[in-house]
Amino acid sequence: MSVSALERPTTRQYAVLAVFLAATLAVGGLGSVATLPEIPGWYAGLHKPPFNPPNWVFGPVWTALYILMAVAAWRVWRRTGLRSRAMTLFALQLGLNLAWSFIFFAAHATGAALIELVALDTLIVWTAIRFARIDAIAGWLFVPYIAWAGFATLLNAAICMLN
C-alpha cells in the first residue's frame, strides 16, 4: 500500500476502525461481566495497598486504553492486513487481557492472575515493539497500556502479599 493511501483512510478503512473499536471495547465489556459482580463483595473485602486507586478510576482508564489499542491495531492492519505476526500478537494479548478478569475476579485466583499478568505484560511489550516496527505511532499508542499493565501487575502482586 502506498504512503499516500495510508495518509487518507477510505470509508472502508474507517469501517474497519469501527470494528477494531467494537472488538476491543467488547473485550472490556466481557471482562466486566466477571469483574463487576465481585467488586462490592469479594474485592471490597480484600486488603489492598495504599496506592490502590478508587474503583471508579478503572473503567475510564481501561476504556481509554482499549480505544488506543484499537487505533494502534487499525494502523498496523492498514499496512499488514489481518494475517501478520503483529496482528496475531495483538489478538493473543487481547485474549490474555480478557482472561485476567476471569482468573482474578471470577476465580478469585490472585496468584494465578499475577502469573498470567506477567505473561500479558510480556505480550503487550512484544506487540508494541512489533507494532512500532510497522508504524511508529501504533507503537507509541501502546505505551500507556504498558504503563497501566505494569501498574496492574504491581497492584496484583501487592494484593497477593496482603491476602
How much is the mean pLDDT over the chain? 95
Beta-carbon count within 10 A of 162 CB: 12
Residue 106 and residue 134: Cα distance in Å, rounded?
A: 37
Band of pLDDT at residue 125, cut at 50, 70 and 90: very high
Grid cell locating 120: 500479558
pLDDT computed for residue 6 by the predictor: 56
Domain containing residue 44: CATH number: 1.20.1260.100
pLDDT computed for residue 3 by the predictor: 45
pLDDT computed for residue 130 by the predictor: 98
* Residues 6+ away with beta carbon under 8 Å from 152: 117
Percent of the chain with pLDDT over 70: 96
Residue 112 CA: distances (Å) to CA of 58, 74, 102, 115, 117 = 21, 31, 11, 5, 9
Closest CA to 128 of 103, 149, 156: 149
Band of pLDDT at residue 9, cut at 50, 70 and 90: confident
Print the domain residue range for 35.
3-162
Into how many domains does the chain fold?
1
Averaged over 19-47, what is the pLDDT? Answer: 97
Band of pLDDT at residue 8, cut at 50, 70 and 90: confident
How confident is the model over 137-153, as pLDDT tens digits?
A: 999 999 999 999 999 99
pLDDT computed for residue 1 by the predictor: 46
Q: Is the pLDDT of residue 5 over 70?
A: no
